[in-house]
Structure 1
Amino acid sequence: MKLHRGLLPLAACFVTIASGMSFAQPASDYYEGKQIRMIIGHPVGNDYDLGGRFLAKYLTKHIPGNPTIVVSNMPAASSVAAANFFYSQAPRDGTVFGSFSRNIPSQALLGQANLKVDPRKFNWLGGTALPGRVCVAWHTSKVRTPADLLQHELIVGGGGAGTSLSIVPTVFNHVLGTKFRVVEGYKGTTGAVLAMARGEVEGVCATYGQFRVYEQLVKDGKLRFILRAEEAPIPSIPDVPSIYDLAKSDEQRQLMRFVFSSVEFGRPYVLPPESPPELVALMRKAFADAVKDPELIAEAARLKLDMTYRPPEDLVKLVDNLYRTPQPVIDTIKKLVPNIR
């Protein structure tokens, strides 16, 4: 169908309104009476899910107009589905935002086949939490220290290529020569811990915060922390050794730092690309105000839920730094750890 020349300006106007957004009112009034959808790329009960629902409770009162925030989950493909949705399908009108795995930026850089995003184009709102990753073993396992992993196999539950459950032990195996055996198919840390109790697996690697609900198992000696994946100690478990103690070269340390730098994203939140700058600025301020809310801080402390604020500028810088990684390092990681591409 040919469009009459006189109608072209009108058609262009409609495209502009549909693809962007025209503010006929101040941005501060935009959300009044509206509903916002928060999409969490992880299953219900996961740390991202708990953190997101907790944030939503306070965020609504810091957004001008106090819109209703409806939380939904999109956990398919270890949150890759959520990242792809934000990038290419979600409305660009400020009514949909959410979180996905902190591993998404590095996975995108490594060229993971089913991930169709450029992290540099997301509008980063900020993040919550500054988690440390740990590996735990059931009390019947022969593995008690990082060095034991060089001699004894540890069967651990995996959650898919985009999860810490699978990425952490896989990186250790390829870079350090540890003997993790990853059994895929478990739905997060909860599923893996239940599998340990059933005798299906012997351990799991995940963010430290995931184990706060298993404090009794730790106290009873049934669940043991055997290592942390970061160089810096975790304040609440300072005696747990670092996997970096097994590194014998600067190259090994550099490779692990690239992969594990994702921890600094915390639980990241984004608005889709091409969202109106006015709404991005408004949501960034609301996000910061919510996480700094004294009531949120007090309740998070009672719940032992890490809500450490990660400013959007820091997340943008992390992404930029990842994309400055020398190509030889990226190529080496692709060869060593093929299943996280």
Structure 2
Amino acid sequence: MILGRGNMRGMTSGRALAAALCAVLLGGTAQAQSVEDFYKGKRLRLIVGGSAGGGYDTYARAFVRYYVRYIPGKPSVIVQNMQGAGGVLATNFIASGAVPRDGSVFATSLRTVATAPLLDPRGTKYDANKLNWIGSLANEVSLCVSWHTSPVKTFADAQKQELIVGASNGNDTEIIPAVFNNLLGTKFKIVVGYVAVGINVAMERGEVAGRCSWSWSSLLSQRPDWIRDKKINLLVLTSNKRHPDIPAEVPLIMDFARNDADRTLLEIFLLPQVMGRPYFLPDGVPAERVAALRKAFDETAKDPGMAADFKRLKLELSPVSGEEIQAMLTRVYATPPEVIARARDAMRYKGEKMVAQIKTVKTSGTVLLSIREGRQIEFKLADGKTAKTSVSGSKTKVTISGKKATRAEIKAGMTCAIEWPGPGQQARSLDCK
């Protein structure tokens, strides 16, 4: 027994020594793998939950050029679009475990993804409170607008007569007009099925007469001439704050709230505006890397070069920190269930469900640039203007000199016959030579 105890002591001492050595070795490894060491030489992935050429995509590509300079180790970044379900598809992907939880993959998606699990959980497979929010580039101001030929010139007019508005499935271009119908008595008729920039083309063609929850920054980057040439009527600010560049006579949506209960619900729906251009990581990313990426975000937002680029591109820059976003979401997810139930009902569009029949047109152009192996092509069109189109590997028919080809085979200098809904949207076919 004494010998046994001695052996046990020896084994225990040996195990203790081994554990101590492991701790030293692991500690040394952890110390060696600093945040800078981890990111040095890495190629990060930024998943954009919106269409190529849309507002979120434009923001992301302008932002990451500067962001990598402030991340320790100065990694490179590739941008990938994953459009669908109002940004939920990309957010599900980030949260699913399909990507590493090491800080090498992050995302930007439509602002409504933060409250979707609470207000419209269908299809959501993530907990917004568990995502690591890096920050938002804009505390957004958005509007409802109508085309200049529409008899609806004001928000009060929209409470009296029908206005057909275009929308993308599942995002706030569909949700917000439904909320206004149910809470404020507007008569928006919603046509879904458009991509973001496609709503603008539909307005020009007369397919729809307006749109709601259009970010002021996106309006300025996509159609600044519509403001200059008075092509649209600014009906209402779907925000809880004004913007210095928007005429004072355009009312705030809160001006139309009929009681405190409606005002409370509107505040919940307007929360995503505060985090208008959000960036986030999956849960489980080491805390020191989350902190480093948040710090890099805050520093990037102060970069004068990026501020100048954003001004040139007419992009709003009014950053909100990741810590602020995390705190706001904690508060909103503590909202009483009966209030959330009423909010969910207010989101349901109770009119006739209409789906856009997307019309295509044909034009021609010369390829200026093939981006990401043909996933996006920039053309100089026959009218001299430049425009981009996204090219699907499965849905876009590509031919070169009459033979079936892949998008990666499209090269600068080729001339192509293009069939598409319009600039900035996915091509149906490209026949190049």
* Correspondence list, 1:281-300, <5 A: 281-300=291-310
Report what 2:194 is aligned to.
186
**CA contact 2:46–2:77 (8 Å) conserved in 1:** yes
The 2-side partners of 1:219 and 1:27 are apart by 47
The 2-side partners of 1:282 and 1:218 are apart by 40
* Correspondence list, 1:134-145, <5 A: 134-145=143-154
Letter in 2 for 1:307: L
The 1-side partners of 2:95 and 2:349 are apart by 23
TM-superposed CA distance for 1:171, in Å, is 0.7
- Runs of 4 or more consecutive aligned structure 1 residues displaced over 4 Å after TM superposition: 21-24
Report what 1:114 is aligned to.
123
The 2-side partners of 1:247 and 1:111 are apart by 22
**CA contact 1:38–1:69 (8 Å) conserved in 2:** yes
The 1-side partners of 2:259 and 2:35 are apart by 53
1:214 aligned onto 2:223:
yes
* Structure having greater relative contact order (Cα 8 Å, sep ≥ 6): 1
> Secondary structure in 2 aligned to 1:287?
helix
1:56 aligned onto 2:75:
no
Letter in 2 for 1:84: N
Report what 2:162 is aligned to.
153
Q: Once superposed, what is the RMSD of the aligned Cα atoms?
A: 1.9
Q: C-alpha offsets along residues 178-235 of structure 1, whole Å, 9 cap, x if unaligned?
A: 00000001100x2111101111000011111111032222222221211111242221
**CA contact 2:179–2:348 (8 Å) conserved in 1:** no
Q: Give the structure with higher Rg (CA).
A: 2
The 1-side partners of 2:93 and 2:31 are apart by 24
* Correspondence list, 1:1-341, <5 A: 24-88=32-96, 89-161=98-170, 163-188=171-196, 190-205=197-212, 206-212=214-220, 213-237=222-246, 238-338=248-348
> Secondary structure in 2 aligned to 1:285?
helix
TM-superposed CA distance for 1:22, in Å, is 6.1
The 2-side partners of 1:254 and 1:119 are apart by 21
**CA contact 1:151–1:179 (8 Å) conserved in 2:** yes
Unaligned runs of 5+ in 2: 1-21, 351-433
Aligned residues: 320
TM-superposed CA distance for 1:124, in Å, is 1.0
**CA contact 2:237–2:250 (8 Å) conserved in 1:** yes
More helix as a share of residues = 1
The 2-side partners of 1:186 and 1:33 are apart by 39
The 2-side partners of 1:310 and 1:225 are apart by 26
The 1-side partners of 2:205 and 2:227 are apart by 17
Letter in 1 for 2:40: E
The 2-side partners of 1:133 and 1:233 are apart by 10
TM-superposed CA distance for 1:289, in Å, is 1.3
The 1-side partners of 2:230 and 2:297 are apart by 39
**CA contact 1:146–1:246 (8 Å) conserved in 2:** no
> Secondary structure in 1 aligned to 2:223?
helix
Letter in 1 for 2:77: I
**CA contact 2:218–2:315 (8 Å) conserved in 1:** no
Closer, same or farther: CA 131–281 of 1 in aligned 2, 3 Å: same
Identity of counterpart residues, as a percentage? 38
Report what 1:6 is aligned to.
none
> Secondary structure in 2 aligned to 1:103?
helix
**CA contact 2:154–2:233 (8 Å) conserved in 1:** no
> Secondary structure in 2 aligned to 1:131?
coil
Q: C-alpha offsets along residues 37-59 of structure 1, whole Å, 9 cap, x if unaligned?
A: 01110011111111111110001
More strand as a share of residues = 2
The 2-side partners of 1:82 and 1:22 are apart by 31
The 2-side partners of 1:170 and 1:111 are apart by 13
TM-superposed CA distance for 1:23, in Å, is 6.6
The 2-side partners of 1:255 and 1:143 are apart by 25
> Secondary structure in 2 aligned to 1:30?
helix
TM-superposed CA distance for 1:98, in Å, is 1.3
**CA contact 2:36–2:72 (8 Å) conserved in 1:** yes
Structure 1 length as normaliser, TM-score? 0.89
Unaligned runs of 5+ in 1: 1-12
Letter in 2 for 1:245: D
The 2-side partners of 1:137 and 1:69 are apart by 38
Structure 2 length as normaliser, TM-score? 0.71
**CA contact 1:126–1:310 (8 Å) conserved in 2:** yes
